[in-house]
Amino acid sequence: MRVTVKICGLTNLADACAAVAAGADFVGFLFDPGSRRFVGPSPAWIRGVEGASKVGVFRNQDVATVARAREAAALDIVQLHGDEPPEACAALGGPARVIKAVSVSGVVDWAVVARYARVARILFDTASAAGGGTGRTFDWDALAGAPAGLEFWLAGGLDPENVAAAVARVRPAGVDVASGVEAAVGRKDAARMRAFVAAARGAGRGPAAGRPAGGGGTVRRAGHGGDDETGT
């Protein structure tokens, strides 16, 4: 199965175009004012990004604010990376238009995940006080209990060096990277973006993606770039 790739934390048009050229299916932009990669409330340059689906990442912002930013920046999808309830996901368009990040610190509450899965695509990320952005992987064995048929994306400390192992072990439908392909905070490295996409896609040529295949990752720092701001 072809693994979907999202490159997140983009702060400028040149890097966004380089991410598309590297083969990203989705490109992500941080609309959380608390992020060091915050792009502002309605950056016009995002409208000019073509060739990949555009994702705006928000954290605990009200539905009206998210909807306005989505329209202003011509976003295809919004990613909710805070404590937003399922009702917010539904109000913003459901799975076709919403990704919901689920923080993982130990045992996953699959009943909660199921409620969100009805109204959003699911992305698992390493838990933190800020909702994400730790640059650390979590124990991938935590996803071993994923219900059959649940497709999900994996984030948290991924980089070109470990994404193949992540895909082989967890079998996600997609992977999400931010600082793991950076040269500096908010500045991407084109070579690392290409390497990440190639590694993810190469590892994806195995059993059907979506559920773990056994084994697991250990919590560690990302191999490059500091904190991974998928959601912060």
Structural domains of the chain, count: 1
Query: Tokens at residue 122, please?
Result: 């699911």
pTM: 0.88
Structural domain includes residue 217: no
Could you tell me the residue range of the domain that residue 145 belongs to?
4-203
What's the mean pLDDT in 118-128? 95
Structural domain includes residue 61: yes
Phi-psi region of 33 (alpha: psi -120 to 50; beta: other; left: phi over 0): alpha
CATH number at residue 99: 3.20.20.70
Structural domain includes residue 230: no
Candidate list 15, 32, 89, 125, residue with the active-site label:
125
- Residue whose token pair is 């409330």: 41
Structural domain includes residue 46: yes
- Checking if the pLDDT of 70 tops 70, the result is yes
What's the mean pLDDT in 27-34? 96
pLDDT at site 134: 66
Structural domain includes residue 15: yes
Asked if 100 and 60 touch (Cβ cutoff 8 Å), the reply is no
Structural domain includes residue 37: yes
Tell me if residue 8 is catalytic.
yes
Structural domain includes residue 218: no
Asked if 196 and 163 touch (Cβ cutoff 8 Å), the reply is yes
Residues 160-201 have pLDDT tens digits of 999 999 999 999 999 999 999 999 999 999 999 999 999 999
Structural domain includes residue 106: yes
Tell me if residue 141 is catalytic.
no
